[in-house]
Amino acid sequence: MPATHIRSYYAATANPAPEHPPLTGEIDADVCVVGGGMAGCSTALHLAERGYRVVLVEANRIAWGASGRSGGQALVGYASGQEPLVQQLGLEAARRLWDMSVEAVALVEGLITRYRIDCDFHRGAMNVAIKERQRVALLEEMEEIQKLYGYEHLTFLERADLEALLATRRYCAGVLDSRSGHLHPLNYTLGLAAAARQHGALMFESSPAIEVRHGEPALVITEQGGVKARFVALCCNAYIGKLAPRLRARIMPVGTYIVATEPLGEERMEALMRKNIAVSDVNFVLDYFRRSADHRLLFGGRVSYSGLNSIATATATRLRMLRVFPQLADARIDYAWGGYVDITMNRAPDFGRLAPNVYYLQGFSGHGIALSTIAGKLVAEAISGQAERFDLFTKIQHRNFPGGPWLRTPLLVLATTWYRIRDWL
């Protein structure tokens, strides 16, 4: 029985997409991509555009994981912020990384236009502060980005201007980024997959990879078959499992939750949010929300490091929504779902090689839409012999989560509790 997408607003409004058969027997390829999310589909597309024979294997369905469930924000920058990158690599390298994050958002928009991907893309994203200390930090960060990186798409909003955009008293200030944006992540990923198929990429669903045997060629073994390939790209992220224990130790699957209200109607929705932008607060355990194409509020947050709890999702996330928009107390919740994102210790992306011909992409840390898209392009460049940009990411240092396989989750839960308390203060 083939896997299906979880019940969500995105699945209910997904564009038609074909089901792909499981891989049976052995097949040859130039590149085997493992994982059918945004990173995997982008990798497959950019390689297929260059004429490579690409085979993609996915354990469930295309965009089954975070790529089909996320908050949908395509953002400039990195979850880590720029300072850790400056400390590790120096200002010049950090500038190059910043510029690639700006390019990533442009790449998303360009692919949507080129391949006519119907995914409700809109420009505009805003970070908002709840407390004065957060307001000060937001302003300082904005001024630093403008000064050091020459990024001129940011506008600082004080409370009065903010309340002209959002019908809430919860926030005291915000920074509006007119270049970042938001979209329907499932339809975007399905569009990337369709574009890759147009260029000849072969895709197999319900085909979990159970082993990667290094060598030239490498061999990716699935439950019912295998792919012999000159190159392999592992794009499994939070679902890497036992396929690469070394990579698994450097990421932590984090559960996040989203609800979708009933359709509120255009007039009521625009009264809540005057502009069609994505909004996130700057708490460690953050809230994020945006409008849907059919005038619902999509509201997410409430991370969990100890596993997803579907029963509590709708109730807990709805209560967080009402702290922002108490006027939605009468609004019905039509959809509630959760999923995992993969985070690194420093929240910076973790790209690299397990062998000269085995690449991996992980650690998007909640910034996956734009970053995973350009990551696929960087892998294609590297396989084609132009590895300078990919190799810049490999210089970012990463540590394993402490505690090993048994204690790392409890230790992280304790650390997160401290950050939750800090959010309240």
Structural domain contains residue 416: no
> Smallest Cα–Cα separation from 274: which of 176, 129, 139?
176
Question: Helix, strand or coil for residue 357?
Answer: coil
Side chain identity at residue 287, one-letter code: D
Q: What is the residue-averaged pLDDT of the chain?
A: 92
Structural domain contains residue 389: yes
Q: Are 59 and 160 found together in one domain?
A: no
| Total of domains in the chain | 2
Domain final residue, candidates 342, 365, 399: 342
**Distances 367 to 56, 219, 364, 423 between C-alpha atoms, Å:** 23, 31, 5, 21
The pLDDT tens digits for 319-342 are 999 999 999 999 999 999 988 888
Q: Are 278 and 297 found together in one domain?
A: yes
DSSP symbols for 336-347: EEEEEEEEETTS
Structural domain contains residue 40: yes
Q: Are 287 and 331 found together in one domain?
A: yes
The pLDDT tens digits for 215-274 are 999 999 999 999 999 999 999 998 998 999 999 999 988 888 999 999 999 999 999 999
Q: Are 62 and 31 found together in one domain?
A: yes
Beta strand pairing call for 350-355 and 333-344 = unpaired
pLDDT, average across residues 308-319 = 72
Domain final residue, candidates 320, 342, 364: 342
The pLDDT tens digits for 351-400 are 999 999 999 999 999 899 999 999 999 999 999 999 999 999 999 999 98
φ, ψ dihedrals at 357, nearest 5°: -115, 15
In the predicted structure, residue 158 carries a pLDDT above the cut 50: yes
Asked whether the whole model's pTM tops 0.85, one would answer: yes
> Smallest Cα–Cα separation from 86: which of 391, 273, 346?
346
Quote the distance between the C-alpha of residue 119 and its chain's center.
15
Q: Are 263 and 169 found together in one domain?
A: yes
Side chain identity at residue 59, one-letter code: A
Range of the domain at 233: 9-69+186-251+346-410
Nearest-angstrom CA–CA distance, 166 and 271 = 8
> Smallest Cα–Cα separation from 223: which of 204, 247, 241, 248?
204
Structural domain contains residue 1: no
State the pLDDT at residue 241: 87
Structural domain contains residue 384: yes
Q: Find the CATH number of the domain harbouring 256.
A: 3.30.9.10
Q: Find the CATH number of the domain harbouring 368.
A: 3.50.50.60
Domain final residue, candidates 342, 364, 395: 342
The pLDDT tens digits for 70-126 are 999 999 999 999 999 999 999 999 999 999 999 999 999 999 999 999 999 999 999
Structural domain contains residue 225: yes
Q: Are 259 and 337 found together in one domain?
A: yes
